[in-house]
Every structure is written in structure tokens, then in C-alpha cells.
């Protein structure tokens, strides 16, 4: 947990912060797109190239003069496209949650009307 160490937090705090269980990140099955999306949503300052490939700087450059082109442009483009897809998944999940919460409010009203 190199990244958690750089933040000065425990593994447990890190897992809680990104909303995943300990077993999720410590298993041998690999990290899913969902976990990456959660990580990126909480830590947008992390360079995706570093996160996925372990190469380059951990943190994204803050301005264009500090940025150097990635070693493999096509891989970088794929990573960015993947990030967009992950962000869309997060948006979709949040929209579903809003719909569920909205429907839950209506269900309570209907239930009371049916019971009365």
C-alpha cells in the first residue's frame, strides 16, 4: 500500500476512504474497473498512467510545462478512454441511486394510501 503510506494513513483508513473492503484490494483476482473508478473519484490528483502501469510520476503534473508525453501514446489514450468510461459508470450508478431514493419516497406514500 505504497500510496496509503505516502498519505500517512493506515490501510484500513484507505479502504474506508475509497469505499472498498480489505479483501477486494488484497485478493489475487486483480483490481476491477469499479475499484479504479472509486479510487480516481477520491484521488483525482493521481496520474492514471502511474496507477495502472506503475510508471512515471505518482501525481499528475499541475501545469502543461511540467507534463511530459507518456512513453506510449496509444496506451495513454486507452487509459483516458477507460477513465471516461469509469466516470460514466459512476454517473450511471449515482443516477440509479437517485431514482431508487425517489421511488422509495413514492412507495411510502402509496403504501400509506393502500393501508388507509
pLDDT tens track, the chain, 116 positions? 677 788 788 888 888 888 887 777 676 666 778 888 888 888 888 888 888 788 888 888 765 444 555 567 778 788 888 888 888 888 888 888 888 888 875 544 444 444 44
The pLDDT of residue 82: 85
The pLDDT of residue 113: 44
CA distances from 23 to 8, 14, 15, 20, 28 (A): 21, 13, 10, 8, 9
Say how far apart CA 76 and CA 70 lie, in whole Å.
Answer: 7
Alpha carbon distance, N-terminus to C-terminus of the chain: 56
CA triple 36-39-42, angle to 5 deg: 150
* 61 close to 67: Cβ distance less than 8 angstroms: yes
Amino acid at each position: 500500500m505504497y500510496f496509503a503510506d505516502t498519505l500517512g494513513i493506515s490501510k484500513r483508513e484507505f479502504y474506508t476512504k475509497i469505499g472498498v473492503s480489505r479483501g477486494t484490494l488484497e485478493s489475487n483476482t486483480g483490481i476491477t474497473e469499479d475499484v479504479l473508478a472509486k479510487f480516481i473519484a477520491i484521488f483525482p490528483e493521481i496520474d492514471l498512467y502511474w496507477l495502472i502501469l506503475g510508471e512515471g510520476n505518482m501525481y499528475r503534473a499541475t501545469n502543461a510545462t511540467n507534463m511530459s508525453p507518456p512513453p506510449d501514446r496509444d496506451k495513454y489514450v486507452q487509459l483516458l478512454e477507460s477513465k471516461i468510461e469509469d466516470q460514466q459508470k459512476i454517473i450511471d450508478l449515482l443516477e440509479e441511486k437517485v431514482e431508487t431514493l425517489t421511488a422509495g419516497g413514492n412507495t411510502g406514500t402509496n403504501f400509506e394510501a393502500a393501508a388507509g
